[in-house]
Structure 1
Amino acid sequence: MNEAKVKAALLAEIRRKYSRFKRPLVTTEFTLGDSGVRADLIHFSRKSTAFEIKTERDSLRRLHAQIAAYSQFFSNVVAIIAPNHLAKITPEILGRAALWTYDARGKFSVVLPGRSERISPDIQYNLIHESNKKFSTFLEYAESRYAQTSQKFWEVTQGRSIKTEDLKFLSRFHEERETAAQFIRDREDYWNEWLAAQICPHSCQSSSVSSARAGSS
């Protein structure tokens, strides 16, 4: 399974724990402040969870640093590791993070449960950029920033399995990208029609003349 398939399965797993009337607040590729470290998926709550996914083709070289970074800011940390990497995972790499693995069908199993810790709200608040310090808490900021995309994602996938192509709905920039792509398509259509209109009078006139000569002969 590639990372997108694991994410889709993970989101389905998270969804199963909620009723259809209450959907969790989630986002993918969450950057931890200015650190450059990016969590594969975050489930925001009063005890938020950061998930790091390592597929069979991924390297574990950065895993220890990633887990250490997530553990500073999130109550729960989960490392989701492909079966072929499990033998390489040590307690030093995991710290307090839980260890999960998965099978070819996307079914998860818990290898080690991990340990939850209370994170100071002041520490989490450091994840908010200065321009967004109008929010009083990190969770309030997360709700403002990601509630719309989360709601869209759960609405689109309601009543069916979650597919890899659904992940795009968790992007805050998806609609802007779609609008920009449509603008480019419309502009290309306009210029193609304009060019055809410029060429056609000459080609059509030549065809008419040729037809007239052929008729007179």
Structure 2
Amino acid sequence: MAQESPEDFAKVALLTHLRSGGDLRSCSIISELAVEKWARRADVVTVGTELTCYEVKSSADRLSRLDAQIDAYSRVFDRVYAVVATKHMNAVMSRVPSHLGLKELVQTSRGLEARHVREALSSPALSMDATLSMLPVSELAKIVRLLSGTSVTGRNRAALLEAAASLPMAAIRKHVVQYLRERYSASSAVFNGEVLGRRITSADLRHLSIWQAAPAQSSDRVDPAAEWLALLSREGAFGPVPEDVQNLLAAG
């Protein structure tokens, strides 16, 4: 059994807190969602009527990447929270933008718990490019067809991005929310069913992680590069797989 990490405990505390506040109702939940052309992975994302990101900083984490992470997530998500250990709270509050929401990870007699500190405001930095990067080619083609009434020949991502760039931002974001909510509804339903009526544990996080590859048949020898290429290439799992990443994995 893999050893539980401080991040696992922090995610469990966060999800327990969100569930108790009703914030997981009618939502899809995603762990480690890759965004901004795979440059970042958001710790926990909830998808309801909008996209909300929670960046976790446990007592074992440093804050050296936080500023860049918040900048990146503010371009993608409607609301962004930093979920930080008590030891980080003062440093975080003194450096983050005012739209950032805050939750504190507190060690109690019952274990690690998350507590609400500051409500997140709508991000003022949403980006069209970052929003479109969340969609695979098939969804880009669909949104161009639905919103413009035209079709782009072939599956050329660059041409689809150019066609989508002139479309209304609000309509595109609505489509992204719907796509992600549906894409992760099944795994979220499994998670919610597993934890119904009991405490959430770190073992339950596996249901939400898009980095869990399907197990190979015991009679097969697994090639790690091929296995990951197959996982990453599943349409919609992370959005588009960059060509250079595909070539690197395929070359093995």
Q: Is the contact between residue 84 and residue 104 of structure 2 (CA under 8 Å) also seen in structure 1?
A: yes
Pair 1:16 & 2:20 matched = yes
Long gaps (5+) in structure 2: 144-174, 222-252
Match of 1:98 in 2: 101
Q: Is the contact between residue 50 and residue 76 of structure 1 (CA under 8 Å) also seen in structure 2?
A: yes
The CA deviation at 1:115 is 2.0
* TM-score (normalizing by structure 2): 0.63
- Match for residue 58 of structure 1 among 46, 61, 68: 61
* AA of the residue aligned to 2:191: F
Alpha-carbon deviations, 1:147-190, whole Å to 9, x = none? 1111111111111111000101113464713xx2xx22x679xx
The CA deviation at 1:134 is 4.5
Match of 1:7 in 2: 11
The 5 Å alignment of 1:125-136 reads: 125-136=132-143
* AA of the residue aligned to 1:109: R
- Match for residue 176 of structure 1 among 211, 214, 228: 214
Give me the whole-angstrom Cα distance separating, in 1, the residues matched to 2:49 and 2:128: 14
Q: Is the contact between residue 195 and residue 204 of structure 2 (CA under 8 Å) also seen in structure 1?
A: yes
Match of 2:193 in 1: 155
What is the DSSP-based 3-state SS (H/G/I as helix, E as strand, rest coil) of the residue aligned with 1:71?
helix
Structure 1 residues 19 and 51: CA distance shift in structure 2, 3 A: closer
What is the DSSP-based 3-state SS (H/G/I as helix, E as strand, rest coil) of the residue aligned with 1:107?
strand
Match of 2:237 in 1: none
The CA deviation at 1:139 is 1.3
Give me the whole-angstrom Cα distance separating, in 1, the residues matched to 2:9 and 2:142: 34
Which segment is superposed worse, 125-134 or 28-37? 125-134
Give me the whole-angstrom Cα distance separating, in 2, the residues matched to 1:107 and 1:74: 24
Match of 1:213 in 2: none
- Match for residue 48 of structure 1 among 34, 48, 51: 51
Give me the whole-angstrom Cα distance separating, in 2, the residues matched to 1:161 and 1:28: 18
* AA of the residue aligned to 1:82: A
The CA deviation at 1:131 is 4.3
Alpha-carbon deviations, 1:22-54, whole Å to 9, x = none? 542110001113141111000112222100001
What is the DSSP-based 3-state SS (H/G/I as helix, E as strand, rest coil) of the residue aligned with 2:112?
coil
Match of 1:115 in 2: 121
What is the DSSP-based 3-state SS (H/G/I as helix, E as strand, rest coil) of the residue aligned with 1:127?
coil
Q: Is the contact between residue 33 and residue 129 of structure 1 (CA under 8 Å) also seen in structure 2?
A: no
Match of 1:29 in 2: 32
Match of 2:245 in 1: none
How many residues align? The count is 182
Match of 1:81 in 2: 84
Pair 1:166 & 2:169 matched = no
What is the DSSP-based 3-state SS (H/G/I as helix, E as strand, rest coil) of the residue aligned with 2:178?
helix
Give me the whole-angstrom Cα distance separating, in 2, the residues matched to 1:19 and 1:38: 21
Q: Is the contact between residue 80 and residue 123 of structure 2 (CA under 8 Å) also seen in structure 1?
A: no
* AA of the residue aligned to 1:12: T
Query: How high is the sequence identity, in percent, across the aligned residues?
Result: 25
What is the DSSP-based 3-state SS (H/G/I as helix, E as strand, rest coil) of the residue aligned with 2:87?
helix
Structure 1 residues 35 and 19: CA distance shift in structure 2, 3 A: closer
Alpha-carbon deviations, 1:43-93, whole Å to 9, x = none? 112222100001111110010110111111212110011111123224443
* TM-score (normalizing by structure 1): 0.72
The CA deviation at 1:116 is 2.3
Larger radius of gyration: 1
